[in-house]
Structure 1
Amino acid sequence: MGDGATTTEAGPESAGVGAGLTRAHWWILLAAALGWMFDAMDQRLFILARSPAIRDLAAGADPSALPALAGWATALFIAGWATGGLVFGLIGDRYGRVRTMALTILMYSVFTGLSGLARSWPEFAAYRFLCGMGIGGEYAAGVALVAEAMPARFRPIALGMVQAASSIGAMLGSALSLLVGPQSRVGGWEGWRILFFFGVIPSVLLVLLRFRVPEPDRWLRARDEARRDPKPGRELGDVRAIFADPVLRRRSLIGMTLGMVGQIGLWSIGLYTPELVRDVVFREHRRELAVEADSLDDLARAWATETGGDADSKLSEWKAEADRHVGRGTLLQDVGSLLGAPFCTWIAIRFGRRKAFATAYAMSMASVWLVFGGMSRGVDALWMLPLLGFCTCGIFGVIVVYLPELYPTRLRTTGMGFCYNMARYLTAAAPVLLGRLAAGAGGYSRAAIIMSFIYVLGLAVVPFAHETRGEPLPD
């Protein structure tokens, strides 16, 4: 087998999917899946801890400004993700997938841990940006590694498994929040800080990558060819080549748009379910007490005035209740995404990539209208959020298969980095917009429904996407 993992290209996607797999293939799949799983765990921890962290770090700020600050924190995280995807995409093509994965995993592990030590809002935002850089770079390198190393018949399934691992990582994050509530205190530490400390765990993957995972033969051949024959336009990781070739340019612009729609739907709608559930729990208690209040703190004080009870004790009780609903709901949301992504991968394999994209966008928009328009009680999260997770994460079971199929080996992580991460730069503005809409349009529910019209753009672009089903991976 040599220094890399041997790849073969033959036959349709539907037959003999496990043929030709070696131990090296399984190590590669394991490393990429674990890398993306821990990426997703970090993302979930951030989503769950975002609002409590902002509230503590921006103490004294106007409560009405907190949604906008949370939006900015999310925007900077996504912008870091985009920057890392572009930078490490170039590095991955030039210096190898495995080296790039190791560097990016170390980066997001360190800065996730440091997020738990932040003492101010700007410091927290800076750590999230740098953590995002590591996550964005790891994704491009890991997906390219799997796409290039796996036999053709098994490639879509392997990539779908990598995407499914992200749902397991998100479930781990939600489960950790049930053990340590983001709004709780443990031994003098805020709960959200402790959750970020768990993010250091992925650094153990560096040992696995260093000693067990080889570079794919495809990349090794492309590197050797570039060294032997360094012609202009044939360099590894040359982003200019994407725009010089009209076919690659068109594929890149369409791929970027398809990815942007899915990301805006997830980061500006689907991952605001903790805020939605907390809002719903607040409104539920406000209805029970029939008291006008603008926040849970105000409601607890009104309750204490009416009953003579302890406002701080009641507030802690309500926060713990909200954390339970959020933790259980997002855990089930992640179970839904674990099923939704493979479902759309199956559609992509069986019926084609374009039909899978169209299915994912249509069911995402329908689920957003149902959940954000219909949730009225905290317990509704137990059945609504799994449905939302299934629908809004289905798109990523298609995109993970589709993007590697658009580019030749010498440009694969560069091209994927461009598509996914230019889309992320555009996505980064969307949480800020959602925060402003939530502050002025009647809360997160109405804001999310307005934002959901982004899926119409996705449906309009799908017919122009190149159909790659049945085609070999470009060399």
Structure 2
Amino acid sequence: MSQRGDSSSGTVTTQVPSRLDRLPWSRWHWMIVIGLGTVWILDGLEVTVVGNIASRLSEDGSGLPISDAQVTGLAAALYVAGACSGALFFGWLTDRFGRKKLFLITLAVYLAATAATALSFSVWWFFIFRFLTGFGIGGEYAAINSAIDELIPSKYRGRVDLIINGSYWLGAMGGALLSVLALDTNIFPKDLGWRLTFALGVVLGLVILLVRRHVPESPRWMFIHGQSEGADELVSGVEREIEAETGRPLPEPAKSITIEQRKSIGFIQIAKTLFRDYPKRAILGFSLFVGQAFLYNAITFGFGSILVKFFDVSSGSTGYFFAAIALGNFLGPLALGRLFDTVGRKKMIAGTYILSGVLLFVTAWFFNSGWLNATTMTLCWGIVLFFASAGASSAYLTVSEIFPMETRAMAIAFFYAIGTAAGGISGPLLFADLTGSGNVGDAVIAFCIGAALMVLAGLVAIFFAVAAEGKSLEDIAAPLSIQKNAGEKTGGTPTAPAV
């Protein structure tokens, strides 16, 4: 028997985690990746499009009486505020009511808000639905990252998580090129092109929703929340499908765990778990998210102003340069992701953070010395972000796997909200004047701040990062519901020491 329950004590002994982790890669896993992972493309598209079409929205004849400062300032801040609050709100609901319900609801919120944004007829309407678009996207991060990590085998978890998070930059690249097209008044009228860019997001979201309907609930969430029979049936169906696909029987699962089933975990207990039981891991998550947020804002927040002010690039052409940067961002996780599963988490996280920070220091030196033009500056940024993107993606991987299962979505939401707030609120306040002043020294200061925080986060990773490669989630952080004598009952070793 793969699992057995004790109705009198509310406990269940299960092999579901071990059964999931031993699965070979299959069509079923591709369905998970496509159904859940593609939302990052939408986020990248959303953020980039709005930034690049700000000038068009503020022009007479756009159909919306809004200024450029309102688009890049207040509207951007509302999107960030929505993302932070959505992550926390939906993260709590995800841990309480399940991954599947929430990753369908959050995508529906995004679709409705984006469609409404395309129909904006006044400034207040635009502001409200930018907030609600961010609210849906923020909720997606918590629901999706937790579901992906709980469904992907431990052997592949690192590379898959990095590539999926890195796909944000495919959306950013598409948004940059799409904005060039939307701004061409020879193709679209001023009051139509920007609306069509938002409408495209709706179309892509609907396609994703059709695929996502077939993505199952997390069996790990199910067996903890009193649905052990459903979890067993789900995994058994996947096993039969994979055996038919490969023509080979699957190996026996390695071990069992025994947990006490419960319907929900209180917020106070979640907070105590993160900061009392795992303080070093909490410091690690905070450092990684803040470091990458400031590095990215040091570069991407003012990249357009730098190209225009220092290299005489026309504002209508900056989208091409941003597309080149975005490509480097996507190639980093794609090329380096496998190493996080083979070389190891600690070495790769620390290495990508420190190397990208050092390279940004070098770029600042080259820029200050007057050795760069628009092309070579973009090349330097692309190289920095090749490594930084892998590091930033590993921040999401880290916080989604180093805390107990019952707190996973909330942990992701908490650290995402910190990073997003730091990048979207503190970042613009700090970097707006520096990168937009037209003074080389000010831009260099912005680069050095981002680089220093990235290097500092890498140093924290050297001491606090967890060697999670190839390990079951339950071995990295034991579920709060686990029976303390589970190892004696099952012969397994399901627990991991808190750090």
Give the alignment's TM-score, normalised by structure 2: 0.73
Are the aligned partners of 1:335 and 1:389 in contact in 2 as well (CA < 8 Å)?
no
User: In the aligned structure 2, how far is the partner of 1:184 from the partner of 1:247?
Assistant: 60
1:150 to 134, 152, 163: 152
Q: Which residue of 1 aligns with 2:393?
A: 397
1:36 to 18, 34, 40: 40
User: In the aligned structure 2, how far is the partner of 1:25 from the partner of 1:139?
Assistant: 19
Q: Which residue of 2 aligns with 1:299?
A: none
User: In the aligned structure 1, how far is the partner of 2:73 from the partner of 2:360?
Assistant: 19
Q: Which residue of 2 aligns with 1:345?
A: 337
Stretch moving more, 35-44 or 140-149: 35-44
Are the aligned partners of 2:80 and 2:134 in contact in 1 as well (CA < 8 Å)?
yes
Q: Which residue of 2 aligns with 1:472?
A: 472
Q: Which residue of 1 aligns with 2:30?
A: 26
1:194-205 counterparts in 2 under 5 A?
Answer: 194-201=196-203, 202-205=205-208
Are the aligned partners of 1:441 and 1:447 in contact in 2 as well (CA < 8 Å)?
no
1:82-97 counterparts in 2 under 5 A?
Answer: 82-97=84-99
**1:445 Cα offset (Å):** 2.9
| Cα distance, 1:430–1:467 mapped onto 2, change above 3 Å | same
- Which amino acid in the other structure matches residue 334 of structure 2? P
User: In the aligned structure 2, how far is the partner of 1:60 from the partner of 1:171?
Assistant: 25
1:357 is the counterpart of 2:349: yes
User: In the aligned structure 2, how far is the partner of 1:90 from the partner of 1:40?
Assistant: 24
1:207 to 198, 205, 210: 210
Q: Residues 129-187 of structure 1, C-alpha deviation per residue, up to 9 Å, x if partnerless?
A: 22111111112211111111122212222212312322322222223224323898722
**1:19 Cα offset (Å):** 4.5
User: In the aligned structure 1, how far is the partner of 2:334 from the partner of 2:268?
Assistant: 34
User: In the aligned structure 2, how far is the partner of 1:451 from the partner of 1:120?
Assistant: 38
Q: Which residue of 2 aligns with 1:445?
A: 443
User: In the aligned structure 1, how far is the partner of 2:96 from the partner of 2:154?
Assistant: 24
| Runs of at least 5 residues in structure 1 that lack an aligned partner in the other structure | 12-16, 285-320
User: In the aligned structure 2, how far is the partner of 1:281 from the partner of 1:124?
Assistant: 33
Stretch moving more, 191-200 or 402-411: 191-200
Q: Which residue of 2 aligns with 1:331?
A: 323
Identity of aligned residues (%): 23
**1:217 Cα offset (Å):** 1.0
| Cα distance, 1:88–1:429 mapped onto 2, change above 3 Å | same
Are the aligned partners of 1:91 and 1:237 in contact in 2 as well (CA < 8 Å)?
no
Q: Which residue of 2 aligns with 1:406?
A: 402
Q: Which residue of 1 aligns with 2:496?
A: none
| Cα distance, 1:267–1:236 mapped onto 2, change above 3 Å | farther
Match of 2:167, SS state, is: helix
Are the aligned partners of 1:182 and 1:195 in contact in 2 as well (CA < 8 Å)?
no
| Cα distance, 1:224–1:18 mapped onto 2, change above 3 Å | closer
Are the aligned partners of 1:266 and 1:393 in contact in 2 as well (CA < 8 Å)?
no
Q: Which residue of 1 aligns with 2:140?
A: 138
- Which amino acid in the other structure matches residue 209 of structure 1? R
2:428 to 431, 443, 446: 431
- Which amino acid in the other structure matches residue 472 of structure 1? S
User: In the aligned structure 2, how far is the partner of 1:182 from the partner of 1:391?
Assistant: 34
User: In the aligned structure 1, how far is the partner of 2:360 from the partner of 2:58?
Assistant: 25
Are the aligned partners of 1:261 and 1:458 in contact in 2 as well (CA < 8 Å)?
yes
User: In the aligned structure 1, how far is the partner of 2:459 from the partner of 2:259?
Assistant: 41
1:48 is the counterpart of 2:52: yes
User: In the aligned structure 2, how far is the partner of 1:25 from the partner of 1:384?
Assistant: 36
Give the alignment's TM-score, normalised by structure 1: 0.76
- Which amino acid in the other structure matches residue 457 of structure 1? L
- Which amino acid in the other structure matches residue 451 of structure 1? I
Are the aligned partners of 2:166 and 2:330 in contact in 1 as well (CA < 8 Å)?
yes
Are the aligned partners of 2:288 and 2:392 in contact in 1 as well (CA < 8 Å)?
no
Q: Which residue of 2 aligns with 1:239?
A: 267
Q: Which residue of 2 aligns with 1:463?
A: 462
Are the aligned partners of 2:87 and 2:413 in contact in 1 as well (CA < 8 Å)?
yes
Are the aligned partners of 2:34 and 2:211 in contact in 1 as well (CA < 8 Å)?
no
Stretch moving more, 91-100 or 336-345: 336-345
User: In the aligned structure 1, how far is the partner of 2:44 from the partner of 2:97?
Assistant: 25
Match of 1:393, SS state, is: helix
User: In the aligned structure 1, how far is the partner of 2:472 from the partner of 2:195?
Assistant: 46
**1:116 Cα offset (Å):** 4.0
Q: Which residue of 2 aligns with 1:305?
A: none
Q: Residues 82-105 of structure 1, C-alpha deviation per residue, up to 9 Å, x if partnerless?
A: 111111111111222122112212
Are the aligned partners of 2:353 and 2:457 in contact in 1 as well (CA < 8 Å)?
yes
| Cα distance, 1:466–1:225 mapped onto 2, change above 3 Å | farther
**1:71 Cα offset (Å):** 4.4
**1:25 Cα offset (Å):** 2.6
RMSD: 3.7
Match of 1:206, SS state, is: helix
User: In the aligned structure 1, how far is the partner of 2:358 from the partner of 2:125?
Assistant: 38
Q: Which residue of 1 aligns with 2:247?
A: none
Q: Which residue of 1 aligns with 2:286?
A: 256
Match of 1:407, SS state, is: coil
Match of 2:473, SS state, is: coil
Q: Which runs of 4+ in 1 moved over 6 A?
A: 55-61, 182-185, 229-232
- Which amino acid in the other structure matches residue 257 of structure 1? S
Are the aligned partners of 1:143 and 1:404 in contact in 2 as well (CA < 8 Å)?
yes
- Which amino acid in the other structure matches residue 24 of structure 2? G
Are the aligned partners of 1:24 and 1:214 in contact in 2 as well (CA < 8 Å)?
no
Name the structure with the higher helix share: 1
| Cα distance, 1:255–1:240 mapped onto 2, change above 3 Å | same
Q: Which residue of 1 aligns with 2:232?
A: none
**1:23 Cα offset (Å):** 3.9
**1:354 Cα offset (Å):** 2.7
| Cα distance, 1:361–1:50 mapped onto 2, change above 3 Å | farther
User: In the aligned structure 2, how far is the partner of 1:169 from the partner of 1:404?
Assistant: 23
1:81 is the counterpart of 2:83: yes
Q: Which residue of 2 aligns with 1:187?
A: 189
- Which amino acid in the other structure matches residue 270 of structure 2? I
Match of 2:225, SS state, is: helix
